[in-house]
Amino acid sequence: MLSYRHAFHAGNHADVLKHFVLIELLRYFNRKDKPWWYIDTHAGAGCYALESDQATKNAEFEAGIMRLWEQDDLPEALKPYVEAVRQFNPHGRLTFYPGSPALAMTQLREEDRMRLFELHPADVETLEQTFARDGERVTIRKADGFAGLRGLLPPPTRRAVVLIDPPYEVKEDYRRVTEVLADAIKRFPGGTYAVWYPMLARPEARRLPERLADLGAESWLDVRLAVCKPGRDGFGMFGSGMYIVNPPWVLPEILEKTMPWLVKMLGLDDEAGFDLEHHIE
């Protein structure tokens, strides 16, 4: 489906969790003087204007990144993420929100590479414009990232962070996420895989974390941020999660210290909270 446009949701609470964790993963990879690849199966448009009609329709960023923007008590772990967003807002006013590829680019070194998949024609065009000067390091493919991922694994660097972040607008996405991740782990067991997923009342959404756990990864981490209680009508995303295969060993401690602050800042009612589970070999 090509109806989903992330511009309507840019900078919301789910983006905050996803991108905070993504920045931490890439910063950890940069600790070693060895090149890595960043692979994004659903790259989106790359960067979003928060004053656009799409972004202001629901203004979800106001309950997300905006709540972190001018805080003077940011936890240390959140500062690199917020500073990365500031790179796209050099005049100090929050008018643009970088998507996953743009944020990953803030961590990319000369020897590192990005491989981006996107199907929506307009978003592919925006991606190509965003990375027009980085053709040597960034490759953009107008293709299904689920299908395209297997052709990139294992990468020549043998070091990679793979973000699997579909819109989950159709039930098929839930099945394909688990199948693609299982195949990726077989092809490249040493890769770090980050799967973002929504917290929804629908059965397939509730079952997804269990199905990811059933894949049997030796090292994994699952962090969930709920910002409110589920809607009585069963509709609406009340939180989101990140399931990571082969997470950095330092990540659990970082999340333990940081997630309570995020709950305080992003929570909308007394059922806001977080869960963190992990097993790291």
At 78-101, the pLDDT tens digits run: 999 999 999 999 999 999 999 999
| Residue pLDDT, tens place only, 157-177 | 999 999 999 999 899 999 999
What residues form DSSP beta bridges with 40?
Answer: 116, 163
Per-residue pLDDT at 42? 96
β-strand 273-279 against 220-226: which pairing, if any? antiparallel
Catalytic residue among 15, 112, 165, 173: 165
Backbone Cα Rg of the chain: 17
Across the range 41-52, mean pLDDT stands at 91
Q: Which two tokens stand for residue 125?
A: 């065009």
| Residue pLDDT, tens place only, 198-251 | 999 999 999 999 999 999 999 999 999 999 999 777 678 999 999 999 999 999
| N-terminal to C-terminal alpha carbon distance within the chain | 38
Classify the C-alpha dihedral 261-264-265-270 as positive or negative. Answer: positive
**What structural domains and CATH numbers belong to the chain?**
6-279 (3.40.50.150)
Residue 224 and residue 239 in contact, taking contact as beta carbons nearer than 8 Å:
yes
The C-alpha atoms of residue 35 and residue 170 are separated, in whole angstroms, by 36
Instruction: Look at the pTM and tell me if it is higher than 0.85.
Output: yes
The C-alpha atoms of residue 62 and residue 56 are separated, in whole angstroms, by 9
The C-alpha atoms of residue 56 and residue 84 are separated, in whole angstroms, by 22
Per-residue pLDDT at 234? 64
The mean pLDDT of the chain is 94
Higher pLDDT, 55 or 115: 115
The C-alpha atoms of residue 124 and residue 117 are separated, in whole angstroms, by 8
**Among 219, 220, 218, CA closest to 209:** 220
What percent of the chain stands above pLDDT 90?
A: 86
Task: Tell whether the model's pLDDT for residue 29 goes beyond 60.
Answer: yes
Per-residue pLDDT at 185? 98
Tell me, yes or no, if 165 is annotated catalytic: yes
Across the range 95-114, mean pLDDT stands at 97
Per-residue pLDDT at 115? 98
